[in-house]
Amino acid sequence: MPRPALAVTLLLLAGCAVQPGYQRPPVELPQAWRESAPRAAEDGRWWRVYNDAALDRLVEEALARNSDVLVAVARVDEASALLLGAEAGLQPQVDAGASAGRSLSSSATGLLPPGAPRERDNYRAALSLSYEIDVFGRLRNARGAARADLAASVAVRDAVRLSLAARVARSYSALVALDAQVEVTRRVLASREESLALQRRRRDAGMTSDFDLRQFEAETATVRAQLPPLLRDRDIEEAALAVLVGRSAREVVEGGVSRAQGPQDQPVAAVVPQGLPSELLLRRPDLIEAEQRLIATNARVAVARAAYFPSITLSGVLGSESAELGDLFTGPAGIWSFVASLAQPIYGGGRLDAQRDAALARERAALAQYQGAIRNAFGEVRQALVSQSRARESFEAQSERVRALQETLRLARLRYDNGVTSQLEVLDAERGLLAAETARIEALRAQRAAVADLFRALGG
Name the strand (E) or helix (H) holding 359.
helix 351-417
Q: Are strands 119-133 and 311-322 parallel, antiparallel or unpaired?
A: antiparallel
Q: Are strands 119-133 and 93-104 parallel, antiparallel or unpaired?
A: antiparallel
Q: Are 29 and 278 a contacting pair, CB within 8 Å?
A: yes
3 state SS of 301:
helix
Taking the C-alpha atoms of residue 64 and residue 244, their distance in angstroms, rounded to an integer, is: 11
Q: Are 292 and 324 a contacting pair, CB within 8 Å?
A: no
Q: Which of 155, 87, 140 is nearest to 292 (CA)?
A: 155
Taking the C-alpha atoms of residue 132 and residue 143, their distance in angstroms, rounded to an integer, is: 14
Dihedral of CA 338/14/87/303: which sign? negative
Taking the C-alpha atoms of residue 76 and residue 82, their distance in angstroms, rounded to an integer, is: 10
What does DSSP assign to residue 93?
E
Taking the C-alpha atoms of residue 43 and residue 391, their distance in angstroms, rounded to an integer, is: 23
pLDDT one digit per residue (tens) for the chain, 460 residues: 455 554 545 454 445 545 557 788 877 777 665 554 434 445 578 888 888 889 999 999 999 999 999 999 999 999 999 999 999 988 999 999 999 998 887 877 767 777 778 788 888 999 999 999 988 889 999 999 999 999 999 999 999 999 999 999 999 999 999 998 999 899 888 888 887 787 788 777 777 777 877 877 888 888 889 899 999 999 999 899 999 888 888 888 877 888 776 556 677 766 666 555 666 667 889 999 999 999 999 999 999 999 899 999 999 998 898 888 877 788 788 889 999 999 999 988 999 999 999 999 999 999 999 999 988 988 888 888 888 888 888 988 999 999 998 898 888 888 877 877 777 788 888 888 888 899 999 999 998 899 898 888 888 7
What does DSSP assign to residue 130?
E
